[in-house]
Amino acid sequence: MDYTALRDDELMDRLCRRDLYAFEALYDRYGDLVYSVALRIVTDTYVAEDVTQDVFLRVWRRPELFDLQRGKFVTWLLSVARNRAIDERRSQGRRLRHEALPSTGEEEDVLPSAHDLDDPALATVLQDDRRAVREALGVLPPEQRLAITLAYFGGLTQQEIANRLGQPLGTVKTRIRLGMQKMRGALDERRREGER
């Protein structure tokens, strides 16, 4: 059987029946993406590998936690990866509270860039989604993009972002709300164009 041809939900069905080949196919499809998200958040390759291992073994042990009715597999997987990485980042912060926390990298490297988009292991549809998100983020005003990036990858609350940037809390809330609305609008527009 060609596992690479199976959809995510079909692979997850097989995972529930303890099919290691399905698990390998999911790792091949999303391993680098999960690792990249973890690395962006924790900024340490060893810790990012630990987070990636933890996320995938969690999927292997408890595949039933994924509920297809509540959305796409990749959305759920990235959410698990992000939460796990943020926990690790906060834990690092507590352990090394006398050290400077790793930089959040600010927002520069989420701007559209052609050279790192092509990964043959990622499903084509995901490549399109990645390109769309980066383009949508790329057209946002830098201050909105920065607020979104600090929240998502830095794990900061709106109040913490306001403190870090020296801006009023209301300004940060507006930046996040407007930025996310614009990004959603750009993605919806692109989706509609794709359907025409």
Partner 1 sequence: MRMDCEAAREHIDAWALGALDTDERIAFDAHLATCTACPDLAERARDGGTAVALAVPLKTASPSLKARIMASAAVLAGVSRRRSPWWAATAAAAIVAAAGLFGWSAYLQTRIAVLDDDNATIVAAATAQSREFASLRSQLVSTSAATDEVRSAQKLQDSVLYIVAQPDAQLTRMDGTAMAPEASGHYVWSPGERLGAFDATSLPALPPGQTYRFWFVYENQWLDAGLIDIDDDGNGRLVVSRLQGGRPDRGSLLGYALSVEQGNAAPASPGQLVLSSPQQ
Between CA 193 and CA 196 the distance in angstroms is 5
Between CA 122 and CA 194 the distance in angstroms is 19
Residue 63 lies near partner 1 (rule: CB under 8 A) = no
Among 8, 23, 63, 66, binds partner 1 (CB under 8 A): 23
Give the nearest distance from C-beta 28 to partner 1 in angstroms: 8
Token readout for 55 is: 């996320």
Closer Cβ to partner 1, 10 or 116, answer by number? 116
Rounded to whole angstroms, what are the CA distances from 129 to 36, 88, 132, 162, 190? 16, 27, 5, 30, 10
Among 3, 13, 32, 123, binds partner 1 (CB under 8 A): 32
Report the 3 state secondary structure along 134-164. HHHHHCCCHHHHHHHHHHHCCCCCHHHHHHH
Site string for partner 1, 129-168 (x = CB under 8 A): xx--xx--x----------xx-xxx-xxxxx-x-------
DSSP secondary structure string, 87-147?
HHHHHHHHHTTTSPPPP--TTGGGS--STT---TTS-HHHHHHHHHHHHHHHTS-HHHHHH
Give the nearest distance from C-beta 10 to partner 1 in angstroms: 18
Angle at which helix 45-61 crosses helix 20-42, to 10 degrees, equals: 140
Give the interface size with partner 1 as a residue count (CB under 8 A): 70
Closer Cβ to partner 1, 5 or 72, answer by number? 72
Question: Which residues are at the interface with partner 1 (CB under 8 A)?
Answer: 18, 20-21, 23-24, 27-28, 31-33, 35-37, 39-40, 46, 49, 52-53, 56-57, 60-61, 70-72, 75, 78-79, 81-83, 86, 95-98, 109-110, 113, 116-117, 119, 122, 126, 129-130, 133-134, 137, 148-149, 151-153, 155-159, 161, 173, 176-177, 179-181, 183-184, 187
